[in-house]
Structure 1
Amino acid sequence: MATGETGFDDVTFDLISVQYHSLKAGHDYGQYVRDARNAGMDDIASFFEQVMSEDSERARRCHEFLGRLQGSAAAGPATS
């Protein structure tokens, strides 16, 4: 596996990126849910809640995978 200038291999970097964006989006979706509820659009609020839940699960799975990679040679020197 290649290790870039960051000291992380591509897969570790990719997982961290997906986890970050999932968590960031989850934070933003909270506002979207409030906006939709305030507008009386409960079906759209429910959609945003579903998307938020999916991103939360995605972030959790990334965390799980990163835990498996931590300290392994495959993850690059930054995680050793």
Structure 2
Amino acid sequence: MATGETGFDDVTYDLVSVQYHSLKAGHDYGQYVRDADNAERQDIADFFRRVMEEDSARAKQCHEFIKELSGSSQSGAAVT
């Protein structure tokens, strides 16, 4: 696998990126839930909660893949 300037292979970098953005979005969605709750729009608050759960699951899956790649020759020097 190609290793870029970061020392991480492209796939590991991509997984870390998706994990970061999923966790960041999950944090932001908490505010969206509060906004919808304050507007008394339970249907929208529930939607944001579902989206938050999906991003949480996405971040967890990335974590599992990163653990799997960690220590392998596929991960690049920064992870091994």
Shorter-chain TM-score tier:
over 0.9
Q: Which blocks of at least 5 consecutive residues in structure 1 are unaligned?
A: none
- The equivalences for 1:15-54 within 5 A come to 15-54=15-54
**Separation (CA, whole Å) in 2 of partners of 1:79 and 1:54:** 26
CA shift at 1:19, angstroms? 0.2
Stretches of 4+ aligned residues off by more than 6 angstroms: none
State TM-score, norm by structure 2: 0.99
Corresponding residue of 2:3 = 3
- The equivalences for 1:51-66 within 5 A come to 51-66=51-66
State TM-score, norm by structure 1: 0.99
Corresponding residue of 1:75 = 75
> What's the % identity of the aligned pairs?
71
Which one has a larger percent helix, Structure 1 or Structure 2? 1
CA shift at 1:16, angstroms? 0.1
How big is the alpha-carbon RMSD for the aligned residues of Structure 1 and Structure 2? 0.4
Letter of the structure 2 residue corresponding to residue 58 of structure 1? R
CA shift at 1:24, angstroms? 0.2
**Separation (CA, whole Å) in 2 of partners of 1:16 and 1:79:** 11
Aligned positions, number: 80
**Separation (CA, whole Å) in 1 of partners of 2:4 and 2:46:** 41
CA shift at 1:20, angstroms? 0.2
